[in-house]
Each structure stands twice: as C-alpha cells, then as structure tokens.
A and B are shown apart, each in its own frame.
Chain A
Amino acid sequence: MLQHNLQRFLVKTAASFLAVCMCGCTETIELDTDNAKPVIVIYGVLTDLPSYQEIEISSSTGYFDNQPNPRISDALVSITSEDGTEYTLTEVDTVPGLYRTSVLMSGTPGKRYTLTVKTDFDGDGVGETYSAEAKMEQKIDLDSITITTPEMMGYKFFSINMYAMDVPDKSYYFIRYQVNDSVYNKISRYIVFDDMGIEEQYINGASIGYFPDRKEKDRFTEEDAQHMTFIKPGDTIRIQLCSISKGYYNFLLQCQKEIAGENPFFGGPLSNVTTNLSNGAIGYFAARTISEKQHVAPVRK
C-alpha cells in the first residue's frame, strides 16, 4: 500500500517539521466569492453484498451558504446491469433525496452497471437525464488483520496491520473502518491507496493506520482530537477492504485533497473534483467489492 500513503505521510512529516521553524498563525477570514449556478449532485456506491443499494441526489450551493445543500426529490432513478436487468430506486419517505432499490440487490465483480437519473433540475418544465457507468472490480480477500501497540515519539498507538494477496493488474482500494458500533463513513476518513510497489505481492502486515491510545486523548488539543480516532484495549475494530475502479479512486483522493483548500508545498492548483456523470452533473457513481475482518485491540504490554 504503502508507498502512496507513505509518500504522503513523509511529506506531511516534513511539513510538520517545517511548522517547527515557522511561527505561522491562522485566523478566520471572510472571502467575498461569487456563487456559481447550482448543479445537480448525484452520488452512490454499489456493493457486492445483497442490500438495498442507495443513491443520493442533491444540489450544489454557494460555498459559504449557511443552509445545508437542498435535497432533490421526485427523481426517477434506475440502475441497469450489463445483462439488462433493471432495478428501480424509489425515494425513502423519511429522507428526501435518498433513493433505494426496492429489492435486495448485489453487484457482481467484473460487471458494468449504468445509473440513470431523470428529473427537471433546472425547473424549465422539461426533464433532463443524467447517467453514469460503474464497473465492479474483482474482489481481493483480506486474510486477516492484527493490532500491535507501537510507541512513537513518546506517544502510544495501536497499529492496524493487514494481510492479503494483491491481485494481478493494477488495483485500487480504500478501507472503511468501524470502532465498536461507530462506522467512520466520511470520505475524509477513508484510507485510499493503490498497489504501487506491492503489485502482485503478498501484503504482509502493512500498517493501514496508527490510532492513538484513548488514555492519551488529553495530550492533543480539542481541535486536533476532532480529526483523530482514539482506541482503547478491548475495542473491536472492523475494517472493510474495498476494491474500486481507478476513476473512483481518483475521485476519493481528489475529495480528500480539495476539502481543506491550499497546500503550499505539496498541493497543486485548486481544481474541481472529477465526475463520471453526464450532462453537467457532479458527484460519482461507483461500485465496490467488500472484504471484511475484525480484531480486538489488545492490552498494552
């Protein structure tokens, strides 16, 4: 995995060292920006587990708008597999803008799926059609995970390590994790990586993340702690290793990069996150195959 993360990690480390010498300060400012015309935002990720597959539809707004983004109701949404089976998604009564298949559905690795959304977004009385295609990649089986308890720079951590065989062909992954009952399902919390440097090799206990010990939470500022996940001995950690397409991998990385704005040393010019939707819509329609394992955080020796 890990060059990709490693590369970024080292870069971050270096940047942190930099923080050591410069006494930079941050303050909140008002930016006077134009508000672009709203566009339709469509997002959904099909899985290979039998479930009610979901698509969310909303509208973009001005960046600093103080209202949540409007949800788009009453759209006609369907997913068609390459063999022609069509699944209709209907809006969930209690959650506007969330559409679900009415039957349990699971994607099949290697197959392509087409999403079609029909709605009159621009309000001109004529409906528009937005579509996207997603391919479900081959599944990679997670053999196991382990949790070790390293201490670094005077801090105690739990390291979650994965064991799996990388498949032939260039492959792209992300990991979603869960601590006890809390699922960390925000894009900014995903661990996104490709197989550069480990192609077709056995991933032999590579660390996917270092989680600080809950006992030491007080050592971090409240603001920093917000972005961190703390673990204590006895916690059950569950991880989902998901195989995804190159396009969705790029989408996730771009979302993670763009969410925070400028990065002076290692970021490029700020740019729009790519999309695979047609007709001017933004967002993404993707598919993922899931392999899950769990482990209990050990008592520190």
Chain B
Amino acid sequence: MKLDHFFQKGFHSLLFRTSTRICMLLFVCSSIAMAKSNPYATPSAADNPVNPENKYKVSGTIRDLKTKEPLLSVSVNVKELKKGTSTDENGAYSLSLPKGTYTFVVSYIGYKTITTRVMISAAMKRDFNLDMDTLLMKEVVVEESVVFKEKKDETVTRTIMGVDKLSIGEIKKMPALMGEVDVIKAIQLLPGVQPTSEGSSGFSVRGGSADQNLILLDQSTVYNAGHMFGFFSVFNNDIVDKVQLYKGDLPMMYGGRLSSLLDVQLKDDYTGKLRGSGGLGLISSRLMLEGSLGDKTSWVLSGRRSYADLFLKLSSDKSMRESSIYFYDLNAKMTHRFSAFDKLSMNLYMGNDNFGSSIARFSYGNKVGSLNWKHVYHENLYSNLSLHLTDYHFLLQSDMENAKAKWVSNITDLTVRWDFTRSVNSNLVLSYGATSTLHRFNPGLITQPDYDDFRVPANNTLEHSLYLSAEQEVNDKLTVRYGLRWGFFQNMGSATVYTYNKNYEAIDSTRYGAGKIYNTYHALEPRVGVVYKLTDQSSVKANYTRNTQFIQLANNSSSGSPLDLWFPANPNIKPQAMDMVSAGYFQNFNKNAIEASVEVYYKKMSHLIDFADHAQLMLNKKLDGEIRVGNGKAYGVELMVRKNTGALTGFINYTLSRSERTIPEINNGKTYLSPFDKTHSINVSVSYALSKKWNFSAAWVYSTGNPTSYPTGRFEIGGEYFPVYSGRNEYRRTDYHRLDLSVNYVPKHDTKRFWTGEWNFSVYNAYGQKNPWIITYDQDTPTGIPEANMTYLFGMVPSITYNFKF
C-alpha cells in the first residue's frame, strides 16, 4: 500500500473517529473587548509666521480629559465662517483664519461638545480637552467604535480610492465563526473582497490572488495571517486598534503587492491606569492588559490560546493523550515618549500552530518585531524611522519507523524604513521616504537519519524603494494627489541560476558567489488621484495607480496552505505589474450619517504568474521551470451604502466583477477565469442596539459560485477511471450564500463598575446552507461508475463567548 494512500484513507478514519470526540469539545465562541487608544504626541507649537493672505494659523491638540489620549477625527468648526477641520491621528488640528473673534465648536461623538469664543490676532496654539459624555454611551462597544470613526465626511473628501475602514467596535459586533472575532473575516464583507475559500482567512481583492495582498501589522509584513489552516486569523482582536484595506490604490509609502494593502494597527499610547479585557470562548481564550509606567511610557500585552487539546489529555486513549493541536498568539508593545517631539515604540508578535502526535509533527508560525521612532522636527515636519524583522517558518516531522525525516522552511525579512511628512502650506502636504528590505527565502532543508541532508538553496534578495507624494488642495472643490514610487529589486548570491529551454527544461546553470548582486529590476510606479467636491456632501473621484510585485507565493491550491514558499523575481521571472484606473461617485446623506458610493475599476496585469499544470512547487530546485507567465485583467463596479449612527447601523454592498487570465501555456492559451472570479456578490451587515443591554447583529452574504473545472470525459486503465477536462475553470460551483446572527448581552451595564461582562451568542450559517467546499469523485460505487461528492465544511455552527473588561 502506498504511504500516501494509507494516510489519506487509513489515518483519516483513525483520526476521524477521534475527531468526532474532539468536535464535541470544539463548539463556538468568543470576543469583544476593549480598545481605545491613539497615536502619538502632538507636534507642539512653534512660532507661526503670518502667511501672505493675512491669515493666521491656529493649531492645537485635542485630548480626552481623563486619559489624555489624543483623539482622532474630532471636528473643529468655526461657526461664523462655516469652516472646519478634524484632528489627525495625533489629535492635532490646524486652521488658517483671518484676524477676528470666532466661535469654535469642538465636537466628537461620545463626548460633550465644547463651544467657545476665540480671538485671533496672531498665530496661536489652542488645545482642548474633551470630557466623555456618559449619557451618550449606548453600549460598551459603541465607545470603541466612535473613537476610530474616520473624519465624518472622509469618504467624500479623501483622495485615495478603494479604501475601506472598519472599526474594531464594528467588527466585534459582527457574528463570527465559532465566536472567534476576526478582522480578516470582517473585511471579507467589504465590496470587492472575497474569501479564497469557505471559512478561510485568505482573501482575494478585486479578483486578485491571496499573495497579492500586503498584510501589515504595525507596518511589519505578516506572511501568513492564518491559524488552523487559515480558519482563524492571527490578529487578536483585543489588541487591534484599526483596520484599513486599500484595494489597489496604495498609499505611496507602500508597494510591492498588486492587489491590496491590509493595514492592521495595534493599540498604542494608553497612559491611564491599568485596565484589561479578555474573553473565554470555546476555541480560544484571550487576555489583554494595558497600562503605563509614569505618564510617558505605556505598554500593552495580550495573549490568546486555543485549548481544545487540553481535553485530549483527559482521554482514555493513549494516542489521543500524546496528540496536540493548538495555536497561540502573543503581542507586546511598549511606547515611550521622550518629549513632545520624540516617541519610541517597540512591538513584538509571536504566533504558532502546532499539530502533533506520537508519529508526526507539524508546526508553523510568524514572529514579528519592530522598533519605531517618531520625531517631530517642527510643526510642519515629522518623520518616522523604523526597523522591522519578520519571520515565517514551518516544520514538518515524521517519527514513523523507517520513515523518519524533518523538513524546515522559513522566510525572513529585515526592513528599514524612513518616512517623512511635511506640510508646505495649508494646501500642500508632502510625504516622502525610503525603504529597504533584505529578504531571505529558505524553501527547505530535509534531514533524515540514514541519508545526507537535502537542501533547496536559499534565495537572498534586496528590495528598495524611494517615494515622493503630494496632496494638494487646488481650491475648495478640487484636491489632487500625485506621486511617484521607485521600486528597485536585486537578487543576491550565493545562488545557482538555471537557464531554461522552450520546454522549461533546465539546460544550463550559472553559479554566483555570496553577496554578489547578479540581477536588478527597476519599477516606476506613478499614482494620481483627483477629488472634485460637488457639494459638501458629494464628490466625484478618479485615479490611476501602478503597482509592482517582486515576490510571490508558490501555491496553487484553492484554500492556501501553511506550507508557504515565497519566491522572488529573478533573471527568469520578471516582476508582476498592475495598472489600475478607477472612478467613483460619493454621496453622503443626513449630515454624513449615511454614506453611499459607486466605484468602478479596471485593472490590467502584466507578467502575471500562474503555474504549469501539475506543477511541482515543493522542494523543487528548478521551481522557475514550473512558472508560466501571461496577462490578466479585472474590472467591476462596487456599490456601497453605509449607515454609521443611530440604533441601527451597518452596510449593504453589491459588486459586479470579472477577473481573467491569459497565459499562453495554460488552458491552450485560451483566456480563463481567475479562480477568484465572482460575477455577483452581495454583503449585508447590520447591527441593532435595542437597549444598553441587548445588541443584535446579522450578516448575510451571497456570491456567484467559484469557477472550477468539472470532468467532461474519462478514460479507463486497469479498471480505474481518470478524468478528462475540456478546459480550466469552465464551470462554476453552485452559488454561495449564508446568514450569520449574533446577540450581545451585557447583564449589568454600568460604566463605573470595576468589571463589565458581556455574553455573545452567535450562529454561523443560521439556515444551514450546504455550501460546497470541495467536489471529489468516488468510483467505489456498487455500479463501478464514478459519482461526484460535495463536501461542505459547516452546517449551522452555534457558539457562545463570554467577554469582559476591567
């Protein structure tokens, strides 16, 4: 019998029976907690020169009265001039006003509004401290969500397009699979975003593949954001502050991926007294603590661990007791403010998954560390210098008799970046900076007791960039953003580079010594955006962006896998590039309480990579020979309506899109659908706060079924049937739809209490839709004729979680 077959069939059944036992332990659960914080110190005032128009600059910082945290997006309005602004991430605002006396209205949801008279005769600094309005606090979670609310009319005014923000408060109210609140699952509800497969934390943005998304945790790259084969994401919601997804039009400071940037920012800069939050779910339990050391240093610690495996130890079965299956996450962050001008923070993350038994072990995880120094040179210039270290590794080990072996693989990045922001005048802001990364890809080292080590040589590459971007308010109506990013990529020895013939067979090789730069690619990425405000509540926008991707994932499976092998561009593989144009109309209603938008996009990808049929991607020294290159295009329309205030909040969106690839050696050169093409997609997410105690949420998703290939013929050898396909992705699975529900219940709602507990009950797939996950074929049927089987992952999955904060 084949090893392979044995494990497929034999062990499956072994494990399956034990699995049903574990399944019982694994129901449900989780989340909510507290979050509140804000970025850093204010650029403090320096003397402000009188500008030519006889206007004077009024600037300052707005903070929470109690915690002294700077507040983001507080609106500052000058009543007489009907002019206003809102605070940036540092709580800072600035206005240019002619001489005179004005009424300032400083307001913020959840806080008492300040109305005050201010006399202006010279440039001045004016700070405000806002007091929380407890009467307005409907719900514990509302408090969090408002803190991160964007500038109220931001959707209409910002120049970047295709950006979606979700507040952690909003995310926590959404129903979650097994109660594990998950930022990636939440962004999959946004228009143009799809999970790569059922329940997966891999996602596709506008038809792109999962490796075209740059995922940043406080600016550090995270290579694999999934636990448990991707069913849960690595981001522990207790410590997440803000999540933003840029669907192609990336901020100029970032690049290196074609489809999107997922920017996950962690909590920071809390200087109040010790507080914490956490939760007990059936998958995992979490605890987050934050506090300060003096008034200049803040810290936050959080941890999460799944614990189904702890029940394995109670099993009467020896092999069960020897098994393990768990994941954990640890986050630590510390920030010290040396002065109003300098802030240093350190961020650490470590997460791991472990699957083990007496005969095998599989483990994988991320390690991320960064140091970040923010410095304010003067009011109009500040910089951010940071150092990032990222590592993703996996290990596979067999302890079976006569088949002992161990495979380790990892990817390590060391990045330095220095970013500057300069306000030239009130109408022009410049951003510029540089980044440099050393990537080291180590695809695999195999050790086995009786044989020589087997190693697939490591790849070393350097990826640099320089960028300059300007955001200019041309007049009251028109704002433009334009910039250029210069990416530049180098392959470095030691390396053996093969040359391939037309049939992708290696015919020659060249050896380069250690440290030798043997190949360089340059990429210029212009990005331009225009916003024209039609009224205070509506605008039209257009933009163009070009992105280049130098490194990619060697994976062609439908669900992704933890066996992530990244490989770089090299003399055989050109960098992938994407050009995208998009346009949109944005309209807010009811004083920005309702936001509506329509965006259209068209993107063209060149040197797009796909893999040969039956490609051998693992442990292959000649991986380049498995790569096929062509072009791709994707286009679509995204409609979104969103309501942000009141008892009923939420959004509904619809996407109509197409994504296809044309690669000469795949599908006989005929254009085929990207595996992530979905013609129609509808997402509805609503939340209703019935009272201080009860909050109800629901999410419904619908999308066209994934493209797939179904056999159109069969051939027979030795009594077995093998499939024949007429082409790639010519069929689709049945449409996907699902309803999730959740209820939050806060038994004793009192903000003065030391401890606030909250129950969350949720149901994933409430009407038990059987959405196909995989289609397989079985010919061990009574007639011997093959039949198709559909496997669905989840029936109705109820869960319960207890969350607390103190």
Contact = CB atoms under 8 A, between A and B. Distances in A.
Q: Name the prevailing secondary structure of the A interface residues.
A: mixed
B194 to A, nearest CB: 16
Interface string A242-273: 00000000100111111111111111111111
B452 to A, nearest CB: 6
Given A14-B355, A17-B362, A63 B786 contact: yes
A283 B717 contact: yes
A229 B359 CA distance: 20
A282 B715 contact: yes
B23 A20 contact: yes
8 contacts: A6-B398, A9-B7, A17-B355, A58-B715, A69-B721, A197-B452, A229-B1, A266-B563
Interface stretch (A121-129, A132-140, A219-227, A291-299): A219-227
A254 B724 CA distance: 12
B85 interface: no
Which 6 pairs from chain A and chain B are nearest by CB? A207-B402, A271-B613, A12-B7, A197-B454, A261-B776, A268-B556
B793 A152 contact: no
Interface in B755-798: 770, 772-780, 783-795
Contact of B231 (A5, A21, A69): A21
A209 interface: yes
Interface of B: 1-16, 18-19, 22-23, 26, 197, 199, 228-229, 231, 308, 317-319, 325, 355, 357-360, 362, 396-398, 400-403, 405, 407, 446, 448, 450-452, 454, 556-563, 611, 613-615, 617-619, 675, 708-726, 728-729, 731, 770, 772-780, 783-795
In this complex, the member of A6, A192, A208, A271 whose beta carbon has the largest number of chain B beta carbons within 10 angstroms is: A6
A196 interface: yes
Given A2-B3, A9-B403, A227-B5, 4 more contacts: A12-B4, A68-B716, A159-B402, A210-B1
Contacts of A259: 720-723, 777, 779
Contacts of A257: 614
Contacts of B774: 261-264
B454 A196 contact: yes
B7 A16 contact: yes
A142 B714 CA distance: 36
Interface in A1-41: 2-3, 5-14, 16-31, 33-36, 38-39, 41
In this complex, the member of A150, A191, A197 whose beta carbon has the largest number of chain B beta carbons within 10 angstroms is: A197
Interface stretch (A81-89, A103-111, A182-190): A182-190
Interface of A: 2-3, 5-14, 16-31, 33-36, 38-39, 41, 43, 56, 58, 60-66, 68-69, 148, 150, 152-155, 159, 161, 177, 184-192, 196-198, 201, 204-212, 220-221, 223-224, 226-229, 250, 253-274, 282-283
Contacts of A184: 1
B498 to A, nearest CB: 14
Contacts of B452: 197, 201
A41 B715 CA distance: 7
Contacts of B23: 20-21, 23
A283 to B, nearest CB: 7
A188 B775 contact: no
A27 B790 contact: yes
Contact of B792 (A3, A24, A150): A24
Given A7-B618, A210-B400, A261-B776, A36 B712 contact: yes
A29 B229 contact: no
Contacts of A258: 722-723
B446 A187 contact: no
A269 B728 contact: yes
B713 A14 contact: no
A29 B317 CA distance: 36
Contacts of A264: 197, 557-559, 773-774
B358 A9 contact: no
A266 B557 contact: yes
Contacts of A190: 2
Given A2-B403, A148-B402, A256 B4 contact: yes
